[in-house]
Amino acid sequence: EVQLVESGGDLVQPGRSLRLSCTTSGFNFGDYALSWVRQAPGKGLEWVAFMTSFLYGGTTEYAASVQGRFTISRDDAKRIVYLQMDSLNTEDTAIYYCARYRCTGYYCYEEYWGQGTLVTVSS
Amino acid sequence: EKVMTQSPATLSVSPGERATLSCRASQSVSSHLAWYQQKPGQAPRLLIYGASTRAAGIPDRFSGSGSGTDFTLTISSLQSEDFAVYYCQQYNKRPETFGQGTKVEVK
C-alpha cells in the first residue's frame, strides 16, 4: 500500500523558515517524481513544487509564488521528500500535501496524496 | 499559465440523481486533465486522469469526458459518500493548475 506521511508543520512568525518532511512507503521511491501542493484555509488547491526522480536528473520546478524561497529535495535512501520554506509570509499559511506522481513522459499528475501538515504563518 | 474554470461553484443534487460538473481551460490542455474528489478534513483523491480514465478503485458511476478546453465529470447516480468538493487539474504544462472547485451538496 502506497503511503505518504507529512510532518513538520508548525506556527511560525513571518520571515522565518520551516522544513517539511514527507516519509513514504509502499512503492519504489527512486522511480517516482514527487510534488508539494498546498491549500489555504477554506480555499482551493495550489501546486507548489515538483521534483523528478534522479533517473531523470532530479529536476525541480516551482510555482512563481514560492520561486526563490522554497526548495524541494529528496533523500532516496530514506524515502523522504522535503520542502524547505524560507522567508515565510502570511500568504503561505496552508495545509501542505505531498504527492506521488504518475508520469507518462513529461505529463505528470498526482496519483497518491498524504494527509497534509498545517503551516501557520503569524506574528 | 493555463487557467481552469469550474462551474457551477455549488451543485445541489438529491441522492440517486445525476450530477454533471464542468471544467474549462483558458487554452487547450489536450487530454491532460484530471479530476479529484476532496471530503472535509481529507486529502484529495484521484478520480479520473487522461480526461476519461478512471483511477484504480473508482466506481464506474464516475465518468469523465472532453478534450482541448472543455471537460465534464459525470456522476451517474449520487451516493451519500459522493457529496464532496471536486477539482479539475490540467497537467499539460507546468505550472499545473487546478480549478476553484465545485461543491456537490445534498438538495
pLDDT in tens, B32-84: 999 999 999 999 999 999 999 999 999 999 999 999 999 999 999 999 999 99
Tell me the mean pLDDT in the region B80-95: 96
- Residue B1: the pLDDT is 95
Mark yes or no for CB contact B36/A114 under 8 Å. Answer: no
Cα-Cα-Cα-Cα torsion A92, A111, B37, A82, nearest 10 degrees, comes to -20
Average predicted confidence (pLDDT) for chain B? 96
Burial degree of B60 (CB within 10 A; 0-12, 13-18, 19+): exposed
| d(C-alpha B93, C-alpha B29), whole Å | 8
CA A1/CA B10 separation, integer angstroms:
34
Q: Give the separation between CA A107 and CA A101, rounded to whole angstroms.
A: 10
Cβ-based contacts of A42 with chain B (< 8 Å):
none
List chain A residues with CB under 8 Å of B46.
109-113
Put simply, whether B87 touches A (Cβ < 8 Å) is yes
Answer whether B44 sits within 8 Å of A45, measured CB to CB: yes
Is B57 near chain A, with CB under 8 Å? no
Mean pLDDT over residues B11-28, rounded? 97
CA angle A38, A43, A45 (to 5 degrees): 35
- Cα(B97)–Cα(A85) distance, integer angstroms: 21
**pLDDT of res. A103:** 87
Which single residue is written with the C-alpha cell 514560492? A66
Residue with cell 522535503: A82
Judging by beta carbons within 10 Å of its beta carbon (0-12, 13-18, 19+), is residue A81 exposed, middle or buried? buried
CB A22 within 8 A of CB A74: no
Q: What is the dihedral angle through the alpha carbons of B81, B103, B41, B53, rounded to the nearest 10 degrees? A: 60
In sign, the C-alpha dihedral spanning A52, A4, A38, A105 is positive
The pLDDT value given to residue A106: 83
The answer, for B9 touching chain A at a CB cutoff of 8 Å, is: no
Look at residue B53 in the predicted model and tell me its pLDDT: 95
**Predicted local distance difference test score (pLDDT) of residue B9:** 97
B100 contacts on A by Cβ (under 8 Å): 44
Q: What are A49-107's pLDDT values in tens digits?
A: 999 999 999 999 999 999 999 999 999 999 999 999 999 999 999 999 999 999 888 88
C-alpha cell at B11: 451543485
Rounded Cα distance, A27 and A79, in Å? 10
φ and ψ at B45, to 5 degrees? -125, 130
Question: pLDDT category, A32, cuts 50, 70, 90?
Answer: very high
pLDDT in tens, B67-80: 999 999 999 999 99
The alpha carbon of residue A37 and the mean position of all alpha carbons in its chain are separated, in whole angstroms, by 6
